[in-house]
Amino acid sequence: MTEREKMLAGEVYDACDPDLLENLNQTKVLCQQYNNLLPTDFAARNKMIREILGLADEDTFINQPFYCDYGKHIRVGKRFFANFGFTVLDEAYVTIGDDCFLGPGVHIYCACHSTDPSERKTRQEWAKPVSIGNDVWIGGNVTILPGVTIGDNCTIGAGSVVTHDIPANSIAVGNPAKVIKTIQ
C-alpha cells in the first residue's frame, strides 16, 4: 500500500512521505488562492472551492479564510455553509450532509498522533474519519475530534469540543460535548 492508501484506510502511515507532502503543498496553494479571491466574486469562489473539495455543489458557500490539508477528502452536501476560519485536517474522509451550517472558527480534525513522545518523533500517524449528518448546525469555535459521527438534525453549541459520537436529534454543548436535550 502507498502511504496515502494507508492514511485513508486508518492505518499508521509516514506523514513525511514525499507524495503526501506534495499533495499538502498543492492544496495550500489552492487555499491561498481561494482566500485571496475577492469576497464578492461568488462565481470564482464557488468554482475554486469545488476544485479544492472532493464533493461540493453550486450552492456550497465557505467564507474566507478556509484551510484544509488535502481538500479532496472533504465531501459536503447540498446548500452547505461555513463561516470564517473553517479549518479541516482531512487526513481521513470528512463527510458533511445536506443543509449544514457551521459557525466561525469551526475546526475538524482527522489526524491522530501518539501520546508517546518517542513515537511522535517518527512522524508516524494515523487518521479517523468524521461524519456529520443532514440539517446540522455547529456553533462558532467548535472543535470536532477524529472518529466522531454527529447524527442528523443536531445542534452543537458554540465553543464545544466534540470528543465522541452525538446521536441524531440532539443538542450537545460543552467540553467534552454532552447531549443536554433531545428534539423530536
Tell me, letter by letter, the H, E, C secondary structure of 112-159.
ECCCCHHHHCCCEEEECCEEECCCCEECCCCEECCCCEECCCCEECCC
27 closest CA partner among 90, 117, 103: 90
Q: How many CB atoms lie within 10 A of CB 127?
A: 27
- Its pTM stands at 0.96
Per-residue pLDDT in tens (0 to 9) along the chain, 184 residues: 999 999 999 999 999 999 999 999 999 999 999 999 999 999 999 999 999 999 999 999 999 999 999 999 999 999 999 999 999 999 999 999 999 999 999 999 999 999 999 998 898 999 999 999 999 999 999 999 999 999 999 999 999 999 999 999 999 999 999 999 999 8
Q: What single-letter DSSP state applies at residue 31? A: H
Cell of 119: 513515537
Q: The domain that contains 118 carries what CATH number? A: 2.160.10.10
Q: Does the annotation mark 73 as catalytic? A: no
Number of domains into which the chain is organized: 1
- Is the CB of residue 93 less than 8 Å from the CB of residue 75? yes
Q: Could you list the residue range(s) of the whole structural domain that residue 128 is in?
A: 3-182
- Of the residues 73, 107, 113, 164, which is catalytic? 113
Report whether 126 contacts 140 (CB < 8 A): no
Q: Cis before residue 65, ω within 30 degrees of 0?
A: yes
